[in-house]
Structure 1
Amino acid sequence: MPNYEAPGVYVEEVPPLARPIAGVGTSTAAFIGVADRLDPADVGKPKKFTNWTEFANFIKGAAPTDTTPIYTTANRTLALAVFGFFNNGGTACYVLPVAAGDMANLDPSLDKLKPFDEIAIVAAPGVEPVARKVQIMTHCFNMQDRVALLDGVKLPASDSTPADIYGGPMPVGGPATPDQFSYGAIYFPWLKVFNPLYVPGGAEPELIDQPPSGHVAGIWARVDAARGVHKAPANEAVLGIVDLERPIDKDKQKALNPDGINVIRPFGGAPMVYGARTLGGKRNGEYTYLNVRRFMNFLKESIDEGTQFVVFEPNNPALWQRIIRSVSDFLYNQWRDGALFGETPKQAFYVKCDAETNPPSLRELGQVITEIGVAVTKPAEFVIFRIQQTTGE
């Protein structure tokens, strides 16, 4: 205690009993795709962009001029995906440009994304083989902080068969614990956009088919910013497109939705994303819905980063109370924002860190165990109104 000699007001700094946990970002995307004309030093290296102008200047190549076109036949799919991302609400993305041959095996490229902790969405626009899709999902499963955004097959044998749209046999069974399929979401059909290489009378068509993953990633970011990651990114308009490669009606969607094929449908005005499930749908159990998977990723990452202060602190009841206070305050804010279900915080979550979760045997190992339970809000996917006629008496 300081020794005060003269009367007066004294201000002291004291450490807080609980340190606030800040929510991590959830909308930074990473796109892997083919790009030509780049400096060889830029190929195979992830680069961050925060707006379309930055990316447009980059994609022009090693020696850009004002007259250098942004698009080429080789880089068009990647460039249009990034444009769709920013146009639909995206604010930051990493782009990993690769040579065409590198798309045959995505594992080396995915390894280069591991150091970037802020990445929460991973896509390789236009990639159709199941083996490549599984590589992206496995990467996300191993990282535990990101979700794979996949494109359906452009021209499937049948647009009412989930396996044809996925590109191979659908995941089956119901895993006791989450696996890589709960870390993936797939969208169908492809989009029709204006061809930036079109010239009247030229060989290029005016409209071309574009995989939806870039545009959908922007929609995820838009919903995250407006409502929060707990809100299902569905019933949202796809901006900056002319039409869909094919229309999907309600009856066709009935055959796709249970297996987690997220459909984009026309509703008079702009086409809407009308699905919010992880790949495999109900076989993923608690992670049937995409917003649940992404919200749990958000919780894990936020709590992990926000509680680093406990490392090397004395493992005693005082520390346990600090952990409880920090985590509870964070979860209370999530409940207040509508992310957790319950009329009271007690119904929505609990945090337990005491002598029961931390017996002497664990304390001797230097471990602190905290048990957290949350009731995540599920989307109202099926809205049912029951109407009956009365006599008015």
Structure 2
Amino acid sequence: MANYQAPGVYVQEVPSGARSIGQVSTSIAGFVGVAPDPLAHLDEARVLDNWTQFVDQYVGKATQGTPLSNAVFGFFANGGGRCYVVNVGTGGSLTGTARKPTGLTLFEAIDDISMVAAPGYADADAYAALQAHVEHPLRQDRMAILDTVEKVDDVGALTRAATSGVPDAPGPEKPDAAKPDKPEKPEPATGATGEDAIGAPQSPGGYTALYFPWIVMTDPVSGKKVTQPPSGHLAGIWARVDGSRGVHKAPANEPIQGALDLVRRVSRGEQEVLNPAGVNCIRYFPGEGIRVWGARTKAPEASEYRYINVRRLTNMIKESVADGTRWVVFEPNDHTLWKSIRRDIGAFLTNVWRDGALLGTTPQQAFFVKCDEETNPPEVRDAGQVVTLIGIAPVKPAEFVIFKLMQSAEATSETESAGA
């Protein structure tokens, strides 16, 4: 206790006991691919905050871009603020080996990444690598944005998962005056069997999202028009919507900055085939331009994680709670601790609810936090564990807007009478 000697009033600062839980970032991307200079910073994860940094580190004397460089450019052009890049070099692997890790493996130790993409890789092996990365039981804190192949004759083939041996996007073609120059693409897989199945597999937890078709853009390295898989631009849109509306807002009905055209104009009938299978379409609308017109994950249609914003909101809450409650470790496992956990998580989720991310007119309707003797019986405490049960009611997007119109002769006549 303080030793007071003179009569008077003394004021002390006393900690409130409450510990604030802040929201983790949801807007940092990780890109894997082949850089314009394929030997630049090979097999090394580097953080970038703008396009100029990418040019300085990965372009060198190259005169033509690649899917990786175009994706990073599209990320920053559409609102992205920070990303990590791994250049795997020509013929490189998305994952590498235990002795020589590269690609996605280098992202495993970077906690702040919330979305990953491998622009230009769209075969079964690439899908499997990306899905395994985001669905790893010890991670599950990020989503993978997947690309399709460039040329698709039958959109129904995108609703069936590709198997090993199905080719990647076609290889580089020689430019001519009638069609845009093509950036260098990764080596396609061998053993092509046609377009019977070229889609991405289902992700039970909704950790992947697939977009179609490719876009036409100006290669910032060569200055020429090229076709480009859209994953980098979509990552930028996800980041943009996070900043302007919040992670709970579906990243759809948004314009794609830098997209000049689409490789294929998707019709409403084709989207009726693709949407239930979790293939998000990019469409052109007269007067509105090119817009993202889908917000689904590759989770089954009946899954509670079939929407991108629901999956990403859940990821954000999980990571925020995990980071904000680290102080709990090694504390006495008793009623005082349980009360503190309920207080801190409850305060955090109340803020999430106030931001409009959770459904309900009151916090009690939007979420619950249970940490008591029921969730922590003696056998749980003896095992050194403290268990907290959290339930949330995330807001889901209005994907289908339905107006019911009817005619009423009586109402019409009353309106006409009132206006006479």
TM-score normalised by the chain length of structure 2:
0.83
Contact 1:171 1:280 (C-alpha < 8 Å) held by counterparts = no
Taking a change above 3 Å as real, the CA distance of residues 358 and 85 of structure 1, as seen in their structure-2 partners, is same
**Bigger share in helix:** 1
Mean alpha-carbon deviation: is it higher for 185-194 or for 148-157?
148-157
Contact 1:141 1:179 (C-alpha < 8 Å) held by counterparts = no
- 1:184-223 superposed matches below 5 A: 184-196=208-220, 206-223=224-241
- Per-residue deviation, 1:80: 0.9
Equivalent residues, number: 370
Q: Alpha-carbon deviations, 1:290-348, whole Å to 9, x = none?
A: 11111111110000000001111111111111111100000000111110011110011
Amino acid at match of 1:265: R
- 1:1-393 superposed matches below 5 A: 1-37=1-37, 42-61=41-60, 68=61, 71-73=62-64, 75-103=65-93, 108=101, 109-142=103-136, 143-163=139-159, 168=198, 171=201, 179=204, 182-196=206-220, 206-268=224-286, 269-282=288-301, 285-390=303-408, 391-392=410-411, 393=414
Mean alpha-carbon deviation: is it higher for 347-356 or for 13-22?
13-22
Contact 2:204 2:299 (C-alpha < 8 Å) held by counterparts = no
TM-score normalised by the chain length of structure 1:
0.89
- Per-residue deviation, 1:350: 0.5
| Consecutive unaligned residues in structure 1, runs of 5 or more | 62-67, 173-177, 200-205
Task: For 1:44 and 1:12, locate their aligned partners in 2 and report how far apart those are by CA, in whole Å.
Answer: 54
Task: For 1:298 and 1:264, locate their aligned partners in 2 and report how far apart those are by CA, in whole Å.
Answer: 26
- Per-residue deviation, 1:22: 0.4
- Per-residue deviation, 1:11: 3.2
Q: Alpha-carbon deviations, 1:143-196, whole Å to 9, x = none?
A: 210000000111123134423696536646xxxxx736x110010000001245
Task: For 2:49 and 2:8, locate their aligned partners in 1 and report how far apart those are by CA, in whole Å.
Answer: 51
Amino acid at match of 2:155: D
- Per-residue deviation, 1:277: 0.4
Task: For 1:170 and 1:89, locate their aligned partners in 2 and report how far apart those are by CA, in whole Å.
Answer: 27
Task: For 1:298 and 1:242, locate their aligned partners in 2 and report how far apart those are by CA, in whole Å.
Answer: 33
SS in 2 for 1:286: coil
Task: For 1:238 and 1:277, locate their aligned partners in 2 and report how far apart those are by CA, in whole Å.
Answer: 17
Task: For 2:81 and 2:334, locate their aligned partners in 1 and report how far apart those are by CA, in whole Å.
Answer: 43
Q: Alpha-carbon deviations, 1:198-247, whole Å to 9, x = none?
A: 68xxxxxx422100000000000000001111111000000112101110
- Per-residue deviation, 1:389: 1.8
- Per-residue deviation, 1:252: 1.0
- Per-residue deviation, 1:38: 6.0
Identity of aligned residues (%): 48
SS in 2 for 1:373: strand
- Per-residue deviation, 1:72: 3.8
Contact 2:218 2:258 (C-alpha < 8 Å) held by counterparts = no
Task: For 1:361 and 1:280, locate their aligned partners in 2 and report how far apart those are by CA, in whole Å.
Answer: 35
Amino acid at match of 1:147: M
Taking a change above 3 Å as real, the CA distance of residues 260 and 106 of structure 1, as seen in their structure-2 partners, is farther
Contact 1:257 1:281 (C-alpha < 8 Å) held by counterparts = no
Contact 1:353 1:369 (C-alpha < 8 Å) held by counterparts = yes
SS in 1 for 2:337: helix
Task: For 2:209 and 2:7, locate their aligned partners in 1 and report how far apart those are by CA, in whole Å.
Answer: 66
